[in-house]
DNA sequence: CGAATGACGATCAAAAACGATCAAAGTAAG
DNA sequence: CTTACTTTGATCGTTTTTGATCGTCATTCG
């Protein structure tokens, strides 16, 4: 349809700029020019604004990040025609069967867990989540008790994270936690954001059972930060496109593997497996 | 011509436009022109109307979505001709003037603070809120750092409250807190929910300045739980329908009173708090 | 200590976006 | 069929944003 990544407004650019600065800690102006594809003049003007707001501090030759650990961006919630969508939905259908009525369930952010949340709407549950989109799904429902994990919103994904979130998780206990990942390899499970990973570790500690939902494209890909190791995960829900190589590997571990059928025949969901 | 497939009325077009805006959070005018296949002039006119009705907010280079999220049971805008709604928006306009760029602002739940939030979308701010609808407003914005107060969701209103929320507020400090009320009488300010009131007291303690937004119909009405007393409130923003009796009463107190003009005339005096 | 390289800030011109105005096309009423 | 009214598209002048140039200042190296 239309271009996906480039949003041509100064605010969006400054947010992306701040993302780069935060991620690297210190960046030179030519680096910013290359990564944002605008002139250095524009960079300087933006930095002036960012310094004004205290989110960055300029020095000779570059910028330091000084802001708090937040920035907000949330764009389109994925392309409807994306092929991965079917996988996510298939996974969500299987994962929903793991939830019993009146369970207390923790839902991480991410498109797959969002699909799972859609499947859970209307059922009598206690839901704990750090995801704003997920919270919206349940906020209109009378059948669920909804608890939101507070904290700073990570714009791209619309989830809270950071110390506030972690602190709140320490006093919470849930029966099942559904976590999403950005990558899986033989060492464990990865996500892209350091603070988010720390929050997800706290989620794992708060849960009796940790269930990972991940489509098959995530396998063999790592990311910035390792979130969990294999022995920390009780159950893994993947679509059936998972290679036999990985299936064999997982068979040798304690982790329980559930394969979601991609055949999009409406299977009459007989829910409730424990 | 063929009125069956392509509905070319302005209402239908605006509805589709709003769909696109809601889905993407932020859209540029050329994008809207391409996806709706009308001229940019028409887009601008429609956006003007949409902004007038409060469903979107324009900035340089595009539009933000500010309408209600479909899944959230919103405070009913109820009667289109409801006079109270004009009052709320007039109050919101005045209250928005109290906010400076790069302020840290706490926004309570409630219809009036929601209107205020709409006015603040697109400005560079740090926002702390316990309201899910308010959080949704800002989650698409690049210019704000958004922090959500965790806790249990109060179904009717979509705000978090309870001990989690209060605990989180203890470690937060904001410059200005905007609180809404259900009633005001000579003893102080009231709300209907006990736990909510306790949370709002915590909000007041976390803020350098406490600003109450309340339309004139709230005056003389009490409610279940007293939230604050008069001397705890720095500033009060009310519409100009407030009776002279109350104006005189407030004059004798320390509380600063701001009257919001109800007709849409451009008022010249700009009041700002540093 | 002084020249050279690079970074910074200011200024100016081009480009994009905006608002207002006007004419054309379409619609409803008489 | 004509007239009044609304809606749409296009144009123009103005404002905002962006990119490039140039003089000045700082840091480095000889």
Together in a domain, B96 and B147? yes
Please name which of B100, B97, B150, B96 lies closest in space to residue B125, comparing C-alpha atoms. Answer: B100
Residues 6+ apart with CB under 8 A from A104: A125, A126, A128, A173, A174, A175, A176
- A179 and A245 part of one domain: yes
Least confident window among A10-24, A26-40, B167-181: A10-24
Confidence of residue A3 (pLDDT cuts 50, 70, 90): very low
pLDDT at position B74, please?
43
Q: How many CB pairs under 8 A join A and B?
A: 145
Structural domain for A236, as ranges: 83-260
Cα–Cα separations (whole angstroms), residue A99 to A104, A162, A175, A179, B244: 9, 27, 10, 14, 59
Domain identity same for B92 and B166: yes
Report the share of chain A in percent with pLDDT over 70: 85
Q: Is B77 inside a domain boundary?
A: no
Protein CB footprint (7 Å) on chain C nucleotides: 6-11, 17-21
Distance in Å, residue A63 CA to nucleotide D25 C1': 19
Q: Which residues of A touch B102 (CB under 8 A)?
A: 52-54
Residues A36 and A158 in one domain: no
Closest residue in B to A69 (Cα) is B145
Residues A137, A21, single domain; the answer is: no
> Are B236 and B100 in a shared domain?
yes
B54 with B122, same domain: the answer is no
Same domain, B157 and B256: yes
Enumerate residue ranges in chain B where pLDDT < 50.
Answer: 1-7, 70-81, 264-274
Closest CA to A145 of B261, B151, B209: B151
* CATH code of the domain covering residue B47: 1.10.10.10
Residue indicated by tokens 């990865």: A190
Residues A136, B141: C-beta atoms closer than 8 Å: no
Question: How confident is the model at residue A71, as a pLDDT?
Answer: 31
Inside any domain, residue B265: no
Tell how far CA A159 is from the center of its chain: 7
Q: Give B206-246 pLDDT, tens digit per residue.
A: 999 999 999 999 999 988 899 999 999 999 999 999 999 99
The answer to whether residue A173 sits within a structural domain is yes
**HSE value, Cβ hemisphere, 13 Å, CA-based, for A81:** 1
Asked if residue B129 belongs to a domain, the reply is yes
Longest dimension (CA), chain A: 64
Of the pLDDT bands very low, low, confident and very high (cuts 50, 70, 90), residue A120 is: confident
Query: Which of B101, B122, B168 lies at the smallest CB-CB distance from A150?
Result: B168
Please report whether residue A251 resides in a domain. Answer: yes
- Classify residue B266: in a domain, yes or no: no
In chain B, which residue's Cα lies nearest the Cα of A142?
A: B155
Q: Mean pLDDT, to the nearest integer, of A262-268?
A: 49
Q: What is the pLDDT of residue B26?
A: 83
- Domain holding B143: CATH number? 3.40.50.1360
pLDDT in tens, A83-119: 567 788 899 989 999 999 999 999 999 889 988 988 8
Domain total of chain B = 2
Residue B232 lies in a domain: yes
Which CA distances in Å does A33 have to A11, A44, A62? 16, 10, 11
Q: Tens digit of pLDDT for each residue in A168-184?
A: 999 999 999 999 999 99
Do A94 and A197 sit in the same domain of this protein?
Answer: yes
Q: What integer pLDDT is reported at residue A143 of this predicted model?
A: 80
Q: Closest residue to C18 by CA to C1' distance?
A: B60
In this structure, is the CB of residue B39 within 7 Å of any atom belonging to strand C?
Answer: no
What is the mean pLDDT of the segment spanning A71-88? Answer: 47
Give the residue from chain B lying closest to A135, CA to CA. Answer: B132
**What does the pLDDT read at residue A264?**
46
Among the ranges given (A18-27, A129-138, B28-37, B116-125), the one the predictor scored with the smallest mean pLDDT: A18-27
Average pLDDT score over chain A: 82
Query: Do B117 and B208 belong together in one domain?
Result: yes
The answer to whether B28 CB sits below 7 Å from nucleic acid chain D is no
Which whole number is the average pLDDT over A137-151?
86
Q: Are residues B22 and B91 in the same domain?
A: no
> What's residue B82's pLDDT?
52
Where residue A210 falls among pLDDT bands split at 50, 70, 90?
very high
Quick one: B14 and B135 in the same domain? no
Q: What is the pLDDT of residue A75?
A: 29
Tell me what pLDDT residue A20 has.
81
User: Residue B273: its pLDDT value, please?
Assistant: 39
* Domain final residue pick, B21, B39, B65: B65
In a domain, A269, yes or no: no
């Amino acid at each position: 349809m239309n271009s996906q990544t480039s949003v041509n407004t100064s605010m969006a650019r400054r947010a992306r700029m701040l993302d780069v600065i935060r991620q690297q800690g210190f960046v030179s102006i030519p680096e910013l020019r290359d990564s944002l594809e605008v002139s250095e003049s524009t960079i300087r003007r933006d930095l002036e604004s960012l310094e004004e707001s205290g989110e960055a501090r300029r020095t000779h030759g570059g910028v330091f990040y000084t802001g708090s650990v937040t920035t907000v961006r949330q764009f389109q919630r994925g392309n409807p025609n994306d092929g991965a969508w079917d996988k996510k939905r298939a996974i969500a259908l299987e994962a929903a069967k793991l939830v019993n009525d009146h369970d207390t369930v923790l839902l991480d952010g991410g498109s797959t867990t969002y699909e799972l949340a859609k499947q859970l709407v209307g059922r009598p549950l206690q839901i704990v989540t750090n995801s704003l989109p997920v919270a919206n799904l349940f906020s209109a429902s009378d059948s669920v008790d909804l608890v939101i994990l507070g904290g700073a919103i990570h714009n791209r994904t619309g989830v809270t994270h950071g110390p506030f979130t972690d602190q709140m998780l320490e006093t919470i206990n849930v029966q099942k936690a559904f976590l999403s990942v950005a990558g899986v390899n033989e060492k464990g499970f990865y996500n892209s954001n350091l603070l988010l990973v720390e929050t997800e570790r706290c989620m794992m500690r708060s849960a009796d059972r940790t269930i990972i939902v991940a489509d098959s494209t995530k396998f063999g890909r790592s990311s910035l930060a390792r979130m969990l190791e294999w022995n920390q995960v009780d159950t893994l829900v993947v679509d059936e496109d998972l290679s036999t190589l990985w299936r064999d590997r997982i068979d040798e571990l304690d982790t329980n593997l559930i394969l979601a059928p991609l055949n999009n025949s409406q299977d009459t969901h007989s829910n409730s497996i424990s």
